[in-house]
Amino acid sequence: METLIDLLAANGQNMGVAQKTDSVPHLPTSTLNESSLRSANHALEDAQQPAPYITPAETPESFDADDIPFHPYDPVEAGVLTQDTASALLKEFGDSFIQSFPFVVVLSTTDAHALRMNSPFLFLAIMTVTTYRTPAILRCLHQELKEQIATRIVRRSHKSLEILQGLLIYGSWSVLSN
């Protein structure tokens, strides 16, 4: 959990000087001379310089991920699940999965359509873990959830309780299913 929070906090930020200086080689005091001190000083100065941003060859320098509108993946809209199936899976999650995922409580009055619209990432995570009986759909949703993680968290630095809950469900399920 702490690693996940650290990754979210560090996304898009340069490493601090303290982290960079850890990579500077430490010389034993018996071998320290003027030349090695100069080398260590140069290494320290280099480590303190921010790393240049290198744009991949296929991406123009003016490209910004925020310029492209973000659309969360919706398995019902994509035709992978029907609304009735999604409602049944959400009910199953609320009834049967509470023992495995006590940190996300889905009330029996929760409407699948409302959850889909208001918390699409959480909805996708719940649908992914509850489709274990249909491996083809599970693989599809699993892949789409990984894409959403990459897009939302890594590329766009989205942070919300919904994403945290979805990650907790997905991470716990991954551990339990292996």
**For every one of its 178 residues, what pLDDT tens digit does the chain have, with 9 covering 90 and above?**
667 667 666 664 444 433 433 443 444 444 444 554 444 444 445 544 444 444 444 444 544 555 667 788 999 999 999 999 999 999 999 988 888 888 888 888 889 999 999 999 999 999 999 999 999 999 999 999 999 998 888 888 888 888 899 999 988 887 777 6
What's the burial of 71, exposed, middle or buried (CB within 10 Å: 0-12/13-18/19+)? exposed
CA distances from 103 to 68, 115, 144, 162 (A): 33, 17, 23, 12
- Select from 40, 21, 43 the least CA-distant residue to 29: 40
Q: For residue 173, what is the enclosing H or E element?
A: helix 161-177
Angstrom distance (rounded) from CA 142 to CA 145:
5
C-alpha–C-alpha distance, residues 32 and 35, integer Å: 8
With 0.75 as the threshold, say if the pTM is over it.
Answer: no
Cβ–Cβ under 8 Å, residues 17 and 160: no
Round the CA-based radius of gyration of the chain to a whole number and report it: 23
- Residue in 156, 163, 128 with CA at minimum distance from that of residue 142: 128
